[in-house]
Structure 1
Amino acid sequence: MQKTLAVNRLLGIESRFWGRAAAIACAILVNWAIRTLGWLAGADFVVIDHGGITYVTYTVLAVFTTAVSVLGWVILAVLERITRFAKTIWTTGACFLLALSGVPIVVFANANLFTKICLAIINIATAVVVVSAMRSTTLQRRVRTPSAA
């Protein structure tokens, strides 16, 4: 039986494709809201690194969130085809990558404190929205047991 998101029920969307696409759109909107609140709190969203100055704009957030989410979606789709433990394997990998991706934000990014905090919150919020949506739209494969003949 397929689990669906409350958002899917509200919008009448029942397919996994539209549920996952809606989750990516929601993650982008959450990121934009956090960026706006961060800007109001004093974050300038300017990161200085070895490559120069990076301005974390709404477009950068949307493109990066979409790219990472679609990559996760593709990996989950492949896992769903080859193993019955797709949800567990994918969630474990996603949590590991979330922890690993937080290190450069906090340790290596040369930005003001509010910007670092907001980027960390954006990172966590994206993971929460995308991981919960992908998990809730994952079908569990049934184990086939040999029938007694």
Structure 2
Amino acid sequence: MTLTTPAPTTDTTASRGRAAVRRRRRALGIVLALVVTLAVWLLGHLAGADYWITDSQGSVRIDMLVTTQVTVVLGLVGWGVLALLERLTRHGTTIWTVLAVVVVAASMIPVVLVEATAATRLALVAVHLAVGAVLVPAFVRARS
């Protein structure tokens, strides 16, 4: 007697195909979010934002490298949380969407709490909104 793996069914093959398309769309969403975020960062810089922020820990400049790193890491974390929620519940996409909107809104709080020029504050808000405006629809639309 030999042990063989049964041939995948049409449903299994179709499901794998949809999952591959979803992964590609979500990866593209992260890349697109990065491009848009860096474009918004650059526009803010050209408009006069110096991106220096000061809090009780000291001063730091939010440069393009930091913006790139944070965008990619948060995109990957968001994708991981979405994938986990999709596996655990039927409403994973809805739960994730609400969670993502709350996270984007909460990301505005530190912008208000740090010392920065008005141009830097406005540019940082625009950068945060750009990430959310690209990633949320890109991840949710990738489901179909």
Same fold (TM over 0.5): yes
Displacement of 1:39 in angstroms is: 1.1
C-alpha separation in 2, matches of 1:75 and 1:138: 14
Q: Give deviations 1:108-148, integer Å, cap 9, x for gaps.
A: 02110000001001101100100000000125xxxxxxxxx
Partner SS, residue 107 of structure 2: helix
Unmatched 5+ residue regions in structure 1?
Answer: 1-13, 140-149
Q: Distance in 1 between matches of 2:34 and 2:106?
A: 21
Aligned to 1:40: 46
SS at match of 2:109: helix
* Counterpart in the other structure of 1:83: 89
Deviation, 1:100, is 1.3
Using the alignment, how far apart are the partners of 2:106 and 2:138 within structure 1?
Answer: 21
So what's the TM-score if we normalise by structure 2? 0.83
Aligned partner of 1:61 among 56, 64, 67:
67
State the match for 1:126 in structure 2: 131
Q: Which runs of 5+ in 2 are unaligned?
A: 1-19
Query: RMSD of aligned C-alpha atoms?
Result: 1.2
> 1:144 matched to which residue of 2?
none
Distance 1:15 1:104 in 2: 36
Seq. identity, %: 34
CA deviations 1:11-51 (Å, max 9, x no partner) are xxx71112111111111111111111111111101111222
After superposing the two structures, state which structure 1 stretch, 28-37 or 115-124, moved more: 28-37
- Give every structure 1 segment of 4 or more consecutive aligned residues whose post-TM-superposition deviation is greater than 4 Å: none
In the other structure, the counterpart of 2:117 is 112
d(CA) in 1 for partners of 2:135, 2:81 = 13
Q: For 2:31 and 2:60, how far apart are their aligned partners in 1?
A: 23
Matched residue of 1:15: which SS?
helix
Residue 9 of structure 1 corresponds to none
- 1:19 matches 2:61: no
Q: How many residues get paired?
A: 125
